[in-house]
Each structure stands twice: as C-alpha cells, then as structure tokens.
Amino acid sequence: MKFTPLYAGESDNRPDKEKTDALTVRYKEGHAIGPVTVADGCIFVKKGLRNYYMEYASAEKIFRRVRRLHANICCGDGDIEVEYLVIQKDGRELIEVTLPGKKAAKMLMEEIRQAAPGLDTAAPAKASEEEEDAS
C-alpha cells in the first residue's frame, strides 16, 4: 500500500520501504471510521485514490466542521447537515474530508482525543455575521 504524507514539508513525498512497512502495520492495526483511520501515533485519510497520513505530533489542530446545505427534496425544502474532518497545520487547512454522518463524526473525534490527548480538537470560533459585513 502506498502512503503520501499530508504535509510534504516534513519529508520527501515517497517514504522509504521500511517506513512504508511500518505505516502499513499501523494502518492495519488502526480503527477506520469512514475514510479516516485512527492509528497509534498517526492518522490516515483516504481521499480519492490516495492514502494520506500525518503524525499527531505534526498536526496543529484536528477538528470537526458541520455545514448546512440547502436541499430541494420531493416534499419541500430543507437543510442537510454534512460533517467534515479538518486537519490544520501552521494556520492553514491541509485537508477537509467528508464523514459518513453525525454519529460517526462524534465517535471519530472521541477516538482522536484518546489517541492524541494533547492535540487541539476544538473547532475555531465562528466570526459573527456583523463582523464579516463590516469588513
């Protein structure tokens, strides 16, 4: 299995054979929830055809984002809440991946908190609409 580092600034884009083998073992021992696998010491994210990984120590923040999407349903209008997992480093978002639902998102965040207790998992504060309109 091939793994791509989520943050290429730390190492080259292709880990050597020994590191790939170690990552494969971690990946197989980890617990998968949707496209995200929580493992010992690192997190794996499957997006498209790639498997990304990142050490917890390298991440600045991992948090859950909820967006409301307007949907026209056969019996009327409504909003659907979509859950995302966001990994942030150096003040910028590296990846945003769609999660399968609210229950899965809560379970995933709890597992991340247990795997990396010192990691910041709080979502950033929302800016009020008034402040955005004033800008």
**What is the CB neighbour count within 10 angstroms for residue 36?**
25
Tell me the pLDDT band of 133, cut-offs 50, 70 and 90.
Answer: very low
pLDDT tens-digit map of 120-132: 998 888 765 444 4
pTM for this prediction: 0.82
- End-to-end CA, the chain: 47
Query: Tens digits of per-residue pLDDT, 84-101?
Result: 999 999 889 999 999 999
Q: What is the pLDDT of residue 7?
A: 82
pLDDT at residue 71 in the model: 83
How high is the pLDDT of residue 129? 46
Q: How far is it, in rounded angstroms, from Cα 35 to Cα 108?
A: 11
pLDDT for residue 11: 54
Q: 99-112: b or e for each residue (b if 16 or more CB lie within 10 Å)?
A: beeeeebebbbebb
pLDDT in tens, 43-82: 999 999 999 999 999 999 999 999 998 888 777 778 888 9
